[in-house]
Each structure stands twice: as C-alpha cells, then as structure tokens.
Structure 1
Amino acid sequence: MADNTVTSYVTGLQQLALPRWTDLPAFSLYAEQAADIANQALAPFAFAPVTTSDINYWVKQKIVSEAGKKKFDQTGIAKILVTAFLTEVYPLADIRTGLALVPAEQTAQAYDFFVLTTMNTVHRYATNFQQDVVIPGQTAAAVQAMAAPTAQLAIMSVVQKAIVHHALAALAAPAAGQPKA
C-alpha cells in the first residue's frame, strides 16, 4: 500500500506545470493572489501551502520585494515561486544570497531557467523512479527494490545542498583583496 502511494506521488509530480515568465501576470497582485499562484503551481509536490504571512516574512527578510502598495509584479511573483520551492531544502539566507546574485536585467531569463530545470529534473526523476523500481506489492523484495533509489535520492539531495550552500557563500564573498561593491 505504501508502495502504491509513493508511485502515485511520483506519477503526480509529472503533472507539474510551473508558469514560465511570460505566463506570470503582467500586472501587480496582492500577496494572497501571489500565494494562490504559488500554491497552484507547486501543488503536485504537496508542500505546506504558501501563506501571506510567509510572503510578508520574505519581504521583511529582503528576499522578495514589493512592486508598491503591498503588491507584487512579475519579479516578485517569480521570487515567491522560487522561494516557496527552495525553502523545502534551503535556509532563507542561502535563498536570499542566490537570488541577489541574479542581475535585475536577467531575472526573466533566470526564472525561466529555474522553471525548465525544475520541470526537466522532475520528469527525469519520475521517469527513472518508475523504470528502476517495480512495485509488485508489499513484499520484502519490493521494499528492498524501493529502498536503494530512495536512499540515493536522499543522499544526492544532501550532497547537492552542501555544494550549493558553499558555492553561494563563495560567490557572495568578495574576491580576496577586492573591496565590496
């Protein structure tokens, strides 16, 4: 039964449809509307829902910026989506550092890169999971077959998080001998 639940979840991930930059509203939205977009887009992951309190906190932490009058433009909505996704693994300090490294004029391109990379990764993992793991029922062999790819995925996530954390720290730190910009 647990095997079928995992398979259903992985299959459901393939329904992920993150909006591209041009699909984001071209007008400003209130936090509640931006949260609705994030929650709808990220629904296949079954993450905790994004709330207006989350968004307000991200604004206070200078991760997301308002377009004015407590509204969010395309850049703000994109940062809300990225932050909502990345907070599942990364601390807000790392997310803030990473987003700050993106020049304003490259926000649309960086966001679309995030969307395409996420979609490709989900498709690759979902496809590999379904091909590598045959779940005939709750037998010892089925549990064992599922354990190896699940452990590999968990280990890869931790290793990748550690690498990204250190890469962000190195990118954010000014080069030795150069003054801060």
Structure 2
Amino acid sequence: MADFNQYTRWETQMHGVQLPRWDDLPKFDLYMDQVTALVNEVLGPLGVDTVTPAMINNYVKHKVILAPVKKKYQTMQLTDILMISLLKPMFQTDTVRSGIDQITAGDYPKQAYDNFIGQLEDRLHHLGEDQVQPAAKNLNEKLMQVAVDAVVSRLQSAKLLTMIKRPIRKVEKTK
C-alpha cells in the first residue's frame, strides 16, 4: 500500500501542470493521428484515459463535435475534444456537449475554453491547500466551477484508488 507521501508528491507534480490555452494550440488544421497525439500529450500528465480515433469518430457521429473538414480538425474541435476528455468520466457526452454549448452561449468559445483551462490549472496548482473560490456571479460561472471541481475530484480519487489498491478477499456467502 502506498504511503501518504507518495500522494503528496503527486499533488506537487500537479502544481506544475501546464495546459494549453486556445492561442497555444496549432494554428493549422490537423489530421486524426495528429489530433490524438496532441490530445494525449496534453492530457497524459493528468492520467486521463487515452483518446482514440474511434472515440473521436463516435463524437462526430453523435454530433458531440463538428465533423472535420476534408478530414482535418480545427482549433474549436480540438478544444471540444480536450474538454470532453476531461469531463467524460463523470458525465455523458451529450451532457458535456450541452454544458459546453451553455457556457459558449454567453461567452466566445475561445474565452470559455481559456477560462475553463485557467480555473482547472489554478485548482491543480493549489492541490493540498485550503482554497476559497471567488463567488460565482451567474449560473454559467457556477457551472464552470462545478465542472472544474468534478474534474479535480475525479483526478484525485482515481490517483488515490490506484495507490491504495490491494487484493480484495472474496467472502463466501453463507446460507
């Protein structure tokens, strides 16, 4: 069983996580293999499940993201895939899409994505510290805060579960 120091080392690693803002993403369109490589490179340090071409094709098929143009993906599709990958473990993809649509209805997609990534980074950089979040000014801000909290809580719980995982003895049923 892992010790608590190992977990605090992981928290410290999260303090250094840097996630790309909209302007940090490629300014040119990407093919599927480039998209999966980029998304998995960005999210790898967080321990998020690997994104596959089949997953992305499924998002397109179910209209969770826009279809590529001539098999090429643009920045908006990349940001959607990144956010879906972070939120998918807790929510159904149509719920994630609805949340993205709600946030971007009141904010430009670039601003909404950058705000989400900024809040997520801030929370990760202060893991293990008592943090007081500023009060949300509206429902969209509150939705974003709750989504960020859900991602961070999921990352923490997944890490803790893998660290303390031990064989479980099967208990025989008594009649």
The answer to whether 1:119 aligns with 2:139 is no
Name the structure 2 match of 1:108: 110
Do the aligned residues in 2 keep the contact of 1:19 with 1:41 (CA within 8 Å)? yes
Higher RCO structure, 1 or 2 (CA under 8 Å, sep 6+): 2
Do the aligned residues in 2 keep the contact of 1:15 with 1:44 (CA within 8 Å)? no
The C-alpha deviation readout for 1:19-57, integer Å capped at 9, x for no partner, is 111111111101221122111111222121111111111
Name the structure 2 match of 1:91: 92
Q: How many pairs align? A: 134
TM-score by length of 2: 0.67
Q: Alignment partner of 1:48: what SS?
A: coil
Do the aligned residues in 2 keep the contact of 1:31 with 1:52 (CA within 8 Å)? yes
Inter-partner Cα distance in structure 1 for 2:65 and 2:83: 10
Q: Structure 1 or 2: larger helix share?
A: 1
Name the structure 1 match of 2:70: 69
Cα deviation, residue 60, structure 1: 1.3
Aligned partner of 1:121: which letter? R
Aligned partner of 1:73: which letter? Q
TM-score by length of 1: 0.65
Inter-partner Cα distance in structure 2 for 1:104 and 1:60: 26
Aligned partner of 1:13: which letter? M
Name the structure 2 match of 1:29: 30
Query: What does 1:153-164 align with in structure 2 at a 5 Å threshold?
Result: 157=150
Aligned partner of 1:107: which letter? P
Cα deviation, residue 68, structure 1: 0.3
Inter-partner Cα distance in structure 2 for 1:2 and 1:91: 34
Cα gap change, 1:26 to 1:45, in 2 (>3 Å): same
Do the aligned residues in 2 keep the contact of 1:14 with 1:126 (CA within 8 Å)? no
The root-mean-square deviation of aligned C-alpha atoms, in Å, is 2.6
Aligned partner of 1:23: which letter? D
The C-alpha deviation readout for 1:117-168, integer Å capped at 9, x for no partner, is 1111111224449xxxxxxxxxxxxxxxxxxxxxxxxxx749x99xxxxxxx
Inter-partner Cα distance in structure 2 for 1:123 and 1:78: 21
The C-alpha deviation readout for 1:53-94, integer Å capped at 9, x for no partner, is 111111112111134022110101111111111112222121
Inter-partner Cα distance in structure 2 for 1:62 and 1:29: 19
Cα gap change, 1:105 to 1:4, in 2 (>3 Å): closer
Name the structure 1 match of 2:17: 16
**Percent of pairs with identical residues:** 29
Inter-partner Cα distance in structure 1 for 2:150 and 2:83: 17
* Runs of 5+ unmatched residues, structure 2: 132-148, 155-175
Inter-partner Cα distance in structure 2 for 1:11 and 1:79: 28
